[in-house]
A and B are shown apart, each in its own frame.
Chain A
């Protein structure tokens, strides 16, 4: 158990809808990261937050947004969903964003868009 909690585990929704994925980092971790893993692709970095502030952006679509709250949990909002958004979404956390600080991943939310 990595200590990172993601909810829900599974989510099925229709095209055009909006969903929110939630992540609770490990106790003491200040940095949160979001990744997307589609069926035929590897893990794609989406966005990172550190202590409530956006720190880095990766391949995140404009239809997607995220935030980190004062209690350090994070939410990833996906809107105007398309079939291609079906994927596993992973959250990870680390103590701080330094090069020597490992990421610890949750077990993901599986999103199915029908």
Chain B
């Protein structure tokens, strides 16, 4: 149901950019890509979402390929507080944000 594929885990050095990939090869034209993260057992935190164009906010950038079959979340300067599980979600009609298993990002000092 998740319709997305993410690597189970990644490491990133503190201060470097963290690039988290996501494949969503069956995405349809009106479906958005969302990114959330969950730190320990806190509530999932909304990061960013997009439809076709690249998006940037104060937390991250979202790069969506032209064919929309994959995307990358970029945390420009990772800190230890960015260690979390990151979820890439494709929201489809009637799909109430089904979370997959995500990518466990560890930021290393």
Contacts and interface: CB of A to CB of B under 8 A. Distances in A.
Interface residues of A, number: 24
Contacts of A88: 41
B46 to A, nearest CB: 5
Interface in B71-109: 91-94, 96-102
Contacts of A64: none
A33 B49 contact: no
Interface in B38-60: 41-46, 49, 51
B97 A2 contact: no
A19 interface: no
Nearest to B89: A103
B43 A106 contact: yes
Contacts of A92: 43-44, 97
Interface string A1-35: 01010000000000000000000000000000101
B101 A56 contact: no
B46 A102 contact: yes
A37 B41 CA distance: 9
A56 B30 contact: no
Interface of A: 2, 4, 33, 35, 37, 42-43, 45, 48, 56, 58, 88, 90, 92, 99-100, 102-108, 110
Interface of B: 30-32, 34, 41-46, 49, 51, 91-94, 96-102
21 contacts: A2-B43, A2-B45, A4-B43, A42-B99, A42-B100, A42-B101, A43-B44, A45-B96, A45-B97, A48-B96, A56-B94, A56-B96, A88-B41, A92-B97, A99-B31, A102-B49, A103-B44, A105-B43, A105-B45, A106-B43, A110-B41
